[in-house]
Amino acid sequence: MELGIGMFGDLAFDPQTRRPENAGKKLQEILEEIKLADEVGLDVFGLGEHHRPDYAISSPEIVLAAAASITKNIKLTSTVTVLSSAEPVKVYQDFSTIDLISNGRAEIGVGRGSFIESFPLFGYDLKDYDKLFEEKLDLLLNINNNEIVNWKGTLRAPVINQTVYPRATNNGRLPIWIAVGGTPQSVVRAAKLGLPLMVAIIGGMPIQFQQLMDFYKQEWVRYGHDPKQVQLGIHSHTFVSDDAAVTDGYYFNYAAQMNRIGRERGWGPYSKEQYNGGRSKEGALFIGDPNEVADKILYMHELFGITRFIAHMDVGAPTHEQMMKSVELFGTKVAPVVRKALEK
């Protein structure tokens, strides 16, 4: 099983001015954290796309390109690229460029996006939310599989006998993961196309996703794919500390971010009881000491047979020092325990 870290570039808000911290400083810190993730032997690092004042990363591709030049082994991916409001030709070109800079370490994670700011920003109509993703994914896969592209849709001009360069290292093909929040239609699409599936599990109880995971595997086989080739991952909120006081105090960072998003979506205030419940074995938060986090990842492997776990580690903007320690512990304490257990 591959183990990795994901980030959105959460920005802390100054309690006096109520303005977010400096994005430039945050990006420099993220690059240091990615470099450390590579040094401690983690398998993959992902960055998500947002267009909001509380996140530093609107262009994962740019940050990943910078990361490609300071890392040696770690895979670099988006978690996710909001493909519905992106241009598939440019998405492929950006990631194939990262792939060449990194000697074949680039991947793309695509999704419809749980935030909608990119749609009006780039001039798209939300009524086309589903159709945009379907068509743009079809075009991206066409580009990924063919050096000469011929494609026609309804929401974008056709592509007739066009070439898209540069080509990625693996005969032009980049690994493309489909990221979903739990809709069966998205799961069927990934299975039909034979694409790896990444499921965001950020609330409730992971076991509630058991039926969805089984459904993906069932549909994968039904569409004629080799069951041995299934790639299935989860992406969950994570924070690792060997200091119980730090872990307990992280509640305030986490609750602040949950409440900021929750006010927009009509959620109730986030409570300490929810935090503690999420940290239990049955909950969706991978927050605790290295052994607690490792045990929970192994539980996810037991439940779902996952082949990749992405620890979303910067929710609520912990300090850079806390993030570096969390990355270090994830790589040097959590990962060895998980890997050793799975060797048996």
**Signed CA dihedral, 51, 55, 60, 66: sign only:** positive
The arithmetic mean of pLDDT across residues 102-106, rounded, is 98
Instruction: Say how many C-beta atoms besides its own lie within 10 A of residue 49's C-beta.
Output: 25
Q: At what angle do helices 129-145 and 88-101 cross, to 10 degrees?
A: 50
Partners of 220 in the β-ladder: none
Quick: pLDDT tens for 164-215.
999 999 999 999 999 999 889 999 999 999 999 999 999 999 999 999 999 9
Quote the mean pLDDT of the chain.
96
The runs of H, that is alpha helices, within the chain are: 23-39, 60-68, 88-101, 118-121, 129-145, 184-193, 210-222, 244-265, 272-279, 290-304, 320-329, 335-343
Model confidence, pTM: 0.97
Coil vs helix vs strand at 237: strand
Quick: pLDDT tens for 22-72.
999 999 999 999 999 999 999 999 999 999 999 999 999 999 999 999 999
In the prediction, which pLDDT does 246 show?
Answer: 97
Of the chain, the percentage scoring pLDDT greater than 90 comes to 94
* CA pair distance 218, 34, nearest whole angstrom: 35
- What is the residue whose two structure tokens read 């300071």? 70
The runs of H, that is alpha helices, within 46-170 are: 60-68, 88-101, 118-121, 129-145
